[in-house]
Structure 1
Amino acid sequence: MLLEVKGLCVNYGRIEAIRDISFTVEEGEIVTLIGANGAGKTTTMKTVSGLRPVRAGSVVFNGQDITHLPSHERPVLGISQSPEGRGCFVGMTVMENLDMGTYARPDRKSKAVKDDLERVFELFPRLKERSNQAAGSMSGGEQQMLAMGRALMAKPKLLLLDEPSMGLAPKLIQQIFDIVTEINSQGTTVLLVEQNAAQALKRSHRAYILETGEIVREGTGKDLADDPAVKAAYLGGDV
């Protein structure tokens, strides 16, 4: 088991954002968390990456309990996040942003990093074209590609993708999901938070549905996509 979350509870002050949730991600999977705004999806991601403290429960990654491990130490273990809102360093160039993704790598001066950069450029040719351009001057779609590319430069065992399609045009959304599938096929395990449930379930091995901080349903991507209740609530009646 690559990631195992057990009985996780997270608060914002007195507000319970996540209540006793448990889920797993196995190596090689795409696992998606879907749910309405405020369901606790992003809080879950931030907790896995160490950005939110845990009130109760545990997070175990690759056999190691990381529940209270500082966030800056988690990339060293193999967890990397492309955050909601992209979080690009807007005053830095594309190349500088990508280089920031390597900061935790012990081999950051090696040929392996150059190979990973080439892989990122193959996945996102636009980034190679704009390598010397300031991130803040690029479109939303290009910044999303940059956020994902930067996360990949950490060479993660587990890639956390939080709302990668948010605010993008339909054609670009399809492209982003194609790239997510390709990243996974190349061997990277993906935990995905996504409001575009139709696309997410189509690409996922398994998925969990969150409502008001609790997991209310789980299953394979196909089973949930075919479920009439899920279709009505999240898929506009159809996939």
Structure 2
Amino acid sequence: MLLELHNVSVCYGRIEALHGISLHVDEGEVVALIGANGAGKTTTMRALSGIRPLAGGRIVFAGEDISRLRADLRVVRGLCQSPEGRQIFPGMTVLENLDMGAYSRRDTAGIAADLKRVFELFPRLAERRRQPGGTLSGGEQQMLAVGRALMSRPKLLLLDEPSMGLAPMVIKQIFDIITEINEQGTTILLVEQNAQQALARAHRGYVLETGRIVKEGSGRELMHDPAVREAYLGVS
């Protein structure tokens, strides 16, 4: 297993946001984590990234217990996130934003190769490489956020709500690229409210409700689960 969460709990003050969740991601997989607003999806991502401390449990990544490891060192280990809301640097150019994704790396040739890969995945970014990030469309900013994360050469790419606020055609394009990234060898943990797209692309998935894992299975199994269909796919 590449990633394991063992009974992970996270608190905000006295409020427990995650109640001892356990999940795993195997190398090469796309794993989806779906749930309603407030279910704990983004809190899970923040705990994985080291932004929120654990109140209990363990996180094991590539065989190493990283539960108390600093956030920047998790990136060095190969755990990198494209955050909810994109959070690009609006005053910096596309190229400068991508360079920030490789801040911890010193392999000049590897960085150049990964920049080429990002521009092949996202030709629009290549066209706008000198343009400030803040002037891009929402879809282009999402491409930039994913590209910036890829510049760290992650072993596991954490994608937090990549379709948020995007038009349907752009959403499909983003998910097609997510599939391509995975097929090129990058393991992905995907947090997404668009359950239809997420489960259609995922090898496996988990359903999170009020800080607890309530269902798990293959993407296909969850898409055909009556409770999941009614709650998250709008199908009764």
TM interval, shorter chain, is over 0.9
Measured after TM superposition, the shift of residue 80 of structure 1 is 0.8
Per-residue Cα deviation, 1:116-141 (whole angstroms, up to 9, x for no partner): 11100011000000000000111111
Please give the alpha-carbon distance, in whole angstroms, between the structure 2 residues aligned to 1:32 and 1:227. 15
Q: Within 5 Å, which residues of 2 pair with 1:169-180? A: 169-180=167-178
Measured after TM superposition, the shift of residue 105 of structure 1 is 1.6
Q: Which residue pairs with 1:202 in the alignment?
A: 200
Q: Which residue pairs with 2:218 in the alignment?
A: 220
Q: Which amino acid aligns with 1:210?
A: L
Measured after TM superposition, the shift of residue 37 of structure 1 is 0.1
Q: Which amino acid aligns with 2:212?
A: E
Q: Which residue pairs with 1:22 in the alignment?
A: 22
Measured after TM superposition, the shift of residue 24 of structure 1 is 0.1
TM-score normalised to structure 1 length: 0.98
Measured after TM superposition, the shift of residue 9 of structure 1 is 0.3
Per-residue Cα deviation, 1:53-93 (whole angstroms, up to 9, x for no partner): 00000000000000000101111100111000001000000
Q: Which residue pairs with 1:69 in the alignment?
A: 69
Secondary structure at 1:160 match in 2: strand
Q: Which residue pairs with 1:229 in the alignment?
A: 227
Q: Which residue pairs with 1:34 in the alignment?
A: 34
Q: Within 5 Å, which residues of 2 pair with 1:36-51? A: 36-51=36-51
TM-score normalised to structure 2 length: 0.99
Q: Which amino acid aligns with 1:181?
A: T
Q: Which residue pairs with 1:4 in the alignment?
A: 4
Q: Which amino acid aligns with 2:138?
A: G
Please give the alpha-carbon distance, in whole angstroms, between the structure 2 residues aligned to 1:54 and 1:141. 33
Q: Which residue pairs with 2:104 in the alignment?
A: 104
Measured after TM superposition, the shift of residue 159 of structure 1 is 0.2
Please give the alpha-carbon distance, in whole angstroms, between the structure 1 residues aligned to 2:158 and 2:113. 21
Measured after TM superposition, the shift of residue 106 of structure 1 is 3.4
Q: Which residue pairs with 2:137 in the alignment?
A: 139
Q: Which residue pairs with 1:57 in the alignment?
A: 57
Q: Structure 2: any 5+ residue segments left out of the alignment?
A: none
Please give the alpha-carbon distance, in whole angstroms, between the structure 2 residues aligned to 1:79 and 1:106. 17
Aligned length: 236
Please give the alpha-carbon distance, in whole angstroms, between the structure 2 residues aligned to 1:112 and 1:13. 42
RMSD (CA atoms):
0.7
Q: Which residue pairs with 2:78 in the alignment?
A: 78
Q: Structure 1: any 5+ residue segments left out of the alignment?
A: none
Please give the alpha-carbon distance, in whole angstroms, between the structure 2 residues aligned to 1:220 and 1:75. 28
Please give the alpha-carbon distance, in whole angstroms, between the structure 2 residues aligned to 1:138 and 1:204. 29
Measured after TM superposition, the shift of residue 149 of structure 1 is 0.2
